A and B are shown apart, each in its own frame.
Chain A
Amino acid sequence: MAYKRQFYPGATTPAVNRRRYMDPKVNLKKLRDVSMDDVVRIMGHRNPGEDYKTIHAPLDENPYETLCPIRALVKPIEGAKSGDRIRYIQFTDSVYFAPISPYQRAWMYLSRYRGIDTGTLSGRQIIEVRERDLEVLAKEMIDNETFDPALTGIRGATVHGHACRLDENGLMFDGWQRYVWDDSKKEVVYVKDQVALPLDRKISVGKPASMSDLQKRTTIFRADGVDMRDDKEVSMYGLRIHKLRTLGGYQPFKVKGV
């Protein structure tokens, strides 16, 4: 029987969401439509309409291409074919029931996309990829259910804030105030790009979700939401990994029935 990917254990809401976000067969819900030009503006790597900068010639113009056995095995992504720079988008996810958190981002990206490089920290998650592919990915990630305007931040530098309390409008703290609350529209608008350079115009990313909605979408176990210990399978899985690693490094002969 062919192995069927299970993605993640558990039956609770965060566990189910982890599985959904990781499974590439699941189409993530699109909650907003930020235009591609605005996504490009927020990322700040190039101006909308500007050519992509390249770091090497297109692969089909490379005379040595046919000599490379790896090239024969791996189909290049579009940006690699064209010689694009590798650029990034970095999301900061609040601890207060943000839809997704850094490790799940890494697992989701690696499960859904090719040609990417991720880096995971406590508050933020960077994903680096060829520029034209990045833009497609970034738009999906800003538009879909893993993004919340109040609790997800798009931040290149000065990223902390994920563990700070929320402001009076429910927004995650940002030392650069790249986004602000538009009280007239009850929406979050970006006024600065990823590295805090002012934008020419405000870009709306929409209305924040309600806390009850976020609790249904989140991947985070919390004492005031779903505690990890309430999910027996997730708890058991963590303990099992620790025990097997411990025994494997110390008394491997005691590992039985794996």
Chain B
Amino acid sequence: MAQKEKLFMEACKKKFKEDPTDMSTKYYCYGGWKQSKSKVEFQKSAEAIAKERGFPMMNEDIGVPLGQRSWMPYQLSHTDIFAEADDLHCVNNPAMQQAWDDIRRTVLVGLNSPHETIEKRLGKEVTPETINNYLEIVNHTMPGGAVVQEHMAEVNPALVYDSYVKVFTGDDELADELDSRFLIDINKLFPKDQAEQLKKAVGKNLMQAVRVPTIVGRLMDGGTVSRHAAMQISMAFISAYKLAAGEAAIADFAYSAKHLSINMGTMMPARRARGPNEPGGIPFGFLADMTQSDRVYPDDPGRAALEAVALGAAVYDQIYLGGYMSGGVGFTQYATAAYTDNILEDYVYYAIDRIKDKYGGFCKLDPNNMDELMKLGDDVNTYALSMYEKYPAIMETHFGGSQRSTVAAAATGIAGAMATGIADCGVNSWYLSMLQHKERTGRLGFYGFDLQDQCGSANSFAYRSDEGLPMELRGPNYPNYAMNVGHMSGYTGIPKAAHVARGDAYTANPFIRVAFADPSLIFDFANITKEFGRGALREFKPAGERTAVIKG
């Protein structure tokens, strides 16, 4: 049987002139940093800034001589976009920032409770017509419009065009009666089987997907999002239902908006000092639900897992751990390994083929059969590690052991999750990969791997607080994962893999799943690597810019 073309070949051939199996190359002869377009641009820009401000700025000639090797471009996985590593740095990439902005500025606020207040406590009627009227008003207030006081300063709409409120429900009859402009239509956006599952899970709840302006999240923080939403929702109720601004019942609206809402991220402990809706508090299962690949490409579960990996890499590894927790120049090179050059793609699709060959399809491996789970893990992990050994081009592409460890473990974890349909089996397989990797090569990742990856087998199935959690509910805030740089991408892919393999419409939260199907979001959560690529190519237009109020 002819051997399949490896999925990373296109990237390898673009990166290096030698054959991907060659162990030799030339170094120190490529002209240093000048071979990189972005470094040349940076140097020119820094020189101009230094001249303008009268003292030195960045200088590519300081420190280790960059560009001693051939400067590699990176292919955004499952796209035809190639980019320089600099353009995948989260500070340079507006698409990555917008992915995070769109998450942070979202809060889901139920309408059932305030409607009960209006009907039962205030004795007023709620009908589809009053709801539609409310929605028109709240789409005025949420961006920063005034409705109650006569002499209010308002927000310039050109700065906050991305802010709005839409609703969704599992009740088709109610949905039919709502103004379709404000509706996230589950039936239209999801494949039929997914739509049925989601409608059943959402039920008769009428849920608002509130999008606070991007600029508000940036100026304040994630913790302010539910407050901003609560204030503007309360104002909209006062106006829509002609209520008294001072009556006690109004507090119920604010209360329900603040405390009966679903934040994207939970509070973090004081030592990490972040409010809700900050990235460290987002459970992996929530981020997996935000990933929309399986809605648009339902026949490609591999892509769904890989897109979740990509989102996890940017939000958790690059922005949270690289920025919030570490600071400085960050972890771009480390994190991009998981979503560039189709290397993890190759390993994951190998795993999918093996699962189909060995077990006849997904979720057919008994999760109680640990010996067989280990056999599968051994198979996929050995494949991944041997690819690095047989193709020095990809070994050099992932020139840090942490990159290889994450990618091999992600493939192995995704395999375990897809074969069993259980995310915890996936994370257990992840740790098998880590132990085997260390034994095989005599090396793994950075110092931190010595803790989390060598004790992880022991907590992979534990549910007791402080020892474990179902993988869907673990996140960067899980005790043992606080410093797992590079791991978060793979961790996000594992629960996603388990649930797409099962044919589930959602991983952890059906409301979040529906909210991120909304086509009015600035970032397209169904095409994550493509969006990052557009950001790298400087084609992505983010929200939250201030140019509307800057002359010139």
Q: B390 contacts the other chain (Cβ, under 8 Å)?
A: yes
Binds A, one of B218-226, B258-266, B397-405: B397-405
CB under 8 Å from chain A, chain B span 139-176: none
Complex interface: chain B residues within 8 A of A223 (CB): 385-386, 389-390
Minimum C-beta distance from A231 to chain B (A)? 10
Q: Which residue of B lies closest to A103 (CB)?
A: B442
Contact flag A119-B389 (CB < 8 Å), given A163-B399, A165-B23, A229-B382: no
Taking a contact as CB atoms under 8 Å apart, the answer to whether B64 and A175 are in contact is: yes
**B359 interface residue, CB < 8 Å from A?**
no
Closest to B429 in A: A242
Chain A window 177-197, contacts with chain B (Cβ cutoff 8 Å), 1 for yes, 0 for no: 100000000000000000000
Q: Among B27, B405, B443, B446, point to the contact of A103 (Cβ < 8 A).
A: B443
| B389 touching A224, Cβ below 8 Å | yes
Which B residue sits closest to A211, measured CB to CB?
Answer: B23
Find out whether the CB atom of A242 lies under 8 angstroms from the CB atom of B435.
yes
B56 to chain A, nearest CB (A): 22
A246 and B440: CB pair below 8 A? no
> How many of chain A's residues have a CB under 8 angstroms from any CB in B?
51
- Chain B residues positioned under 8 Å from A119 (CB to CB): 447
A168 to B18, CA, bound (A): 12
Is B438 in contact with A103, judged by CB distance below 8 angstroms?
Answer: yes
Interface 9-mer from B88-96, B288-296, B452-460: B452-460
Select B24's contact among A104, A120, A168, A175, beta carbons within 8 Å. Answer: A168
Q: Kindly identify which residue among A164, A167, A239 contacts B399, using a CB–CB cutoff of 8 Å.
A: A164
Name the residue of chain A whose CB is nearest to the CB of B390: A223
Known A164-B399, A173-B27, A177-B28: A238·B436 in contact at CB below 8 Å: yes
- The interface-forming segment of A29-37, A53-61, A80-88, A94-102 is A94-102
Closest to B446 in A: A121
The reply to whether A160 and B399 form a contact with Cβ atoms under 8 Å apart is yes
On whether the beta carbons of B392 and A229 are closer than 8 Å, the reply is no
Which B residue's beta carbon lies closest to that of A167? Answer: B27
- Contact of A222 with B by CB under 8 A: yes
Question: CB distance A95 to B386 under 8 Å?
Answer: no
In the bound complex, residues from chain A placing their C-beta under 8 Å from that of B455 are 245
Q: Decide: A219 near B442, CB < 8 A? Known: A95-B395, A250-B462.
A: yes
The answer on a CB contact under 8 Å between B461 and A165 is no
| A196 (CB) vs chain B CBs: closest residue | B64
Type the 1/0 row for A222-258, where 1 means its CB is closer than 8 Å to any CB of B: 1110011100001101110111011011110000000
| A-facing residues in B427-468 (Cβ within 8 Å) | 428, 431-432, 435-436, 438-447, 450, 455, 457-462, 467-468
User: Is A116 interfacial (CB-CB < 8 Å)?
Assistant: no
Q: Which of B27, B386, B432, B462 has the most CB of A within 10 A?
A: B27
B35 close to chain A: CB less than 8 A? no
Residues of A near B390 (CB, < 8 A) are 223-224
Contact B401 A249 (CB under 8 A): no
Asked whether A158 is an interface residue with its Cβ less than 8 Å from the other chain, the reply is yes
Cβ–Cβ contact A246 & B445, under 8 A:
no
Q: Check B374 for interface membership: any CB of A closer than 8 A.
A: yes
Q: Which A122-180 residues have C-beta < 8 A from chain B?
A: 122-123, 158, 160-168, 170, 173, 175-177
- Bound Cα distance from A101 to B438, whole angstroms: 10
- Contacting pair A163 B458 (CB below 8 A): no
Task: Quote the shortest CB–CB distance from B249 to chain A (angstroms).
Answer: 50
A193 shortest CB reach to chain B, Å: 15
Q: B378 touching A120 by the CB < 8 A rule?
A: no
A89 contacts the other chain (CB 8 A): no
Minimum CB–CB distance for B407 against chain A, Å: 13
CB neighbours of A177 from chain B (8 A): 28, 68
A162–B23 Cα gap in the complex (Å)? 12
Contact indicator B400/A122 (Cβ below 8 Å): yes
C-alpha spacing A30/B69, complex, angstroms: 34
A91 CB–B CB distance under 8 Å: no
Answer yes or no: B329 CB below 8 A from chain A CBs. no
CB distance from A249 to the nearest CB of B (A): 3
In A65-119, the 8 Å CB interface with B consists of 93, 95-96, 100-104, 119
The residue of chain B having its C-beta at the shortest distance from the C-beta of A122 within the complex is B401
Using Cβ atoms and an 8 Å threshold, which residues of chain B touch A250? 458, 460-462
Closest-by-CB residue of A relative to B370 is A243
User: What does the 1/0 interface line of B106-150 toward A look like (CB < 8 Å)?
Assistant: 000000000000000000000000000000000000000000000
User: A241 and B435: CB pair below 8 A?
Assistant: yes
Which B residues are within 8 Å of any A CB, using their own CB? Answer: 18, 22-28, 64-65, 68-69, 370-371, 374, 378, 382, 385-386, 388-390, 392-393, 395-396, 398-402, 404-405, 428, 431-432, 435-436, 438-447, 450, 455, 457-462, 467-468
Q: Report which A residues bind B (CB closer than 8 A).
A: 93, 95-96, 100-104, 119-123, 158, 160-168, 170, 173, 175-177, 219-224, 227-229, 234-235, 237-239, 241-243, 245-246, 248-251
Q: List 13 A-B contacts (CB under 8 A).
A: A119-B447, A122-B402, A158-B64, A162-B401, A163-B400, A163-B404, A164-B395, A167-B28, A176-B64, A223-B386, A223-B389, A235-B378, A249-B461
4 tightest Cβ-Cβ pairs between the two chains A and B: A122-B401, A101-B442, A249-B458, A223-B386
